[in-house]
């Protein structure tokens, strides 16, 4: 009986560890999605043009930096805070 209890406890601890890792990944994914949407909205507000998209042509070099292509063909660097909200825009050459 004590062996069965030990196995159940071990299984429960394993599941708890998996749940914690999964929840952290889900939370990080939500921040990334929020940052993407926030940066697209910020670029559209700055340029006054719809149609901004995430850039897939360049590598992100910094944490919390997202590259966005504006509707007019311009390129922008958007920096987000830890919650994924756009806090700074820089127009790229």
**CA distances, 73 to each of 12, 35, 37, 61, 92 (Å):** 53, 21, 18, 21, 11
- Write out pLDDT tens, residues 21-43: 555 665 778 888 888 999 999 99
Residue listed under structure tokens 């697209």 = 40
CB contact set of 76 (below 8 Å; sequence gap of 6+): 39, 43, 46, 52, 67, 68, 69, 70, 89, 90, 91, 92
Helix ranges restricted to H, 1-93 = 2-47
**∠ at Cα 33 (30, 40), nearest 5°?**
150
pLDDT exceeds 70 at position 75 = yes
| Helix (H) or strand (E) segment spanning residue 78 | strand 75-80
Mean residue pLDDT across the chain: 81
CATH number of 2-92: 1.10.3470, 3.10.450, 3.30.70, 1.10.3210? 3.10.450
Among residues 37, 31, 29, which one has the least CA distance to residue 54?
A: 37
Name which residue leads in pLDDT, 45 or 35. Answer: 45
Quote the pLDDT of residue 48: 96
């Amino acid at each position: 009986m004590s062996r069965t209890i030990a196995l159940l406890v071990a299984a429960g601890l394993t599941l708890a560890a998996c749940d914690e890792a999964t929840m952290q990944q889900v939370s990080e994914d939500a921040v990334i999605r929020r940052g993407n949407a926030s940066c697209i909205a910020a670029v559209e507000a700055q340029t006054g043009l719809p149609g901004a998209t995430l850039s897939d042509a360049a590598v992100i070099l910094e944490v919390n930096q997202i590259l966005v292509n504006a509707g007019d063909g311009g390129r922008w660097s958007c920096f987000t805070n830890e919650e994924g909200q756009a806090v700074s825009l820089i127009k790229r050459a």
